[in-house]
Structure 1
Amino acid sequence: MTRSAMDRFIDTIEWVAAGFVGIVAVNIFVAVLLRNIFSYAIPDSFDIGRMLLGILIFWGIAATSYRGTHITVDLIWGNVGPKYQRVIDVFATLVLLFVVTVQTWTLFDKVRGTYNDHVATFDLHMPTWPFFAVAWIGDVSAVLLIAIRTYRLIFHPEDMHDPKFKSTE
């Protein structure tokens, strides 16, 4: 079965998010290893690790928003019929789209502010704005995926499930 360009785009964003999980894990592992075995601290390892965690959070929002795998409370949803479940899903996704769009707007202001203020790390004097920009791109990806999710929930709810889980009957 061929996958649509939209599904490949969604998968790419999820793989990028997974890549950042790996980068954060390697950064922490190497920093702890060097500090505990060789008594050597990587310059700016704390700042870099902190900013990488920020990137991971925003790309994680993108990865979980489309699939709806973030934390939910399904007390009402689980006790209503499919028609009302879809209404609740559309409403909740529209609220999420609004919130993440506002968050993306404010994060862009942070990227611009760190760029204009020439904010740098303490030891190596690396500019911090590129880290904020990568986090912002993750947030933009979240907005795009939530918009796709909203569109599919409203017009093509059958496309909301991963094709590998669809029944062949």
Structure 2
Amino acid sequence: MQRAAMDRFIDTIEWIAAGFIGIVALDVFVSVLLRNTLNYSIPDSFDIGRMLLGILIFWGIAATSYRGTHITVDLIWANVGPRWQRRIDVFATLVLLFVVTVQTYTLFDKVRVTYNDNVLTFDTHMPTWPFSAVAWIGDISAVLLIAIRTYRLVFHPEEIHDPKIKATE
């Protein structure tokens, strides 16, 4: 039961990240279409697009961190046995967990400062802190998913969805 709930949580995070990819693509498509066909620019289109890309990056970190599908250098990993491969995976995931946790802490400061300074978009004077907050929630999701990955790598490697990870002793 606990495993199924954790897998649903992981899948939900990945679907949210995929949804943000769709939102960014739609924003770019509509902006370009209106600009090139009707010579009309959506107010704050640049600012909104920029902030949506920021959100997409942080939710993308969450989605790729659990699956281990981010960019890796496997020069050493590919040339050692399964036991050392697992140790390298655990070490690398712990380093990633530390880095993303620090990043999440500092991003919260960005959300707080943006809110306190009442930073607004140029055209419509829309507050920008909600965009930063959604990105921060994506970063929190990344920390949670990396923690789940670390737990599974150490205690239940057979539950990792990465085909290169095998249960080793």
| TM-score, reference length from structure 1 | 0.94
Q: What secondary structure sits across from 1:55 in the alignment? A: helix
For the pair 1:92 / 2:78, whether they are aligned, the reply is no
2:119 corresponding residue in structure 1 = 119
- In structure 1, runs of 5+ residues without a counterpart are 164-169
- Aligned pairs for 1:155-166 (under 5 A) are 155-161=155-161
Cα distance, 1:161 vs structure 2: 2.3
Task: Tell me how far apart the structure 1 counterparts of residues 72 and 162 of structure 2 sit (CA, whole Å).
Answer: 19
Matched with 1:59 is 59
Aligned length: 162
User: 2-side partners of 1:84 and 1:26: how far apart?
Assistant: 44
1:20-169 matches, within 5 Å, as: 20-161=20-161
SS at match of 2:124: coil
Identity, % of aligned positions: 84
Give how far 1:162 is off: 6.7
DSSP 3-state at the match of 1:4: helix
For the Cα contact (< 8 Å) 2:67–2:162, is it kept in 1? no
Name the CA distance, whole Å, in 1 between partners of 2:48 and 2:161: 37
SS state of the match for residue 112, structure 1? helix
**CA offset at residue 14 of structure 1?**
0.2
Computed over aligned residues only, the root mean square deviation of the Cα atoms, in angstroms, reads: 1.4
- Residue 13 of structure 1 is matched in structure 2 by 13
In structure 2, the CA distance between the partners of 1:58 and 1:153, relative to structure 1 (3 Å rule), is same
1:4-49 CA distance string (max 9 Å, x none): 0000000000000000000000000000000010000000000000
Q: What letter corresponds to residue 139 of structure 2 in structure 1?
A: D
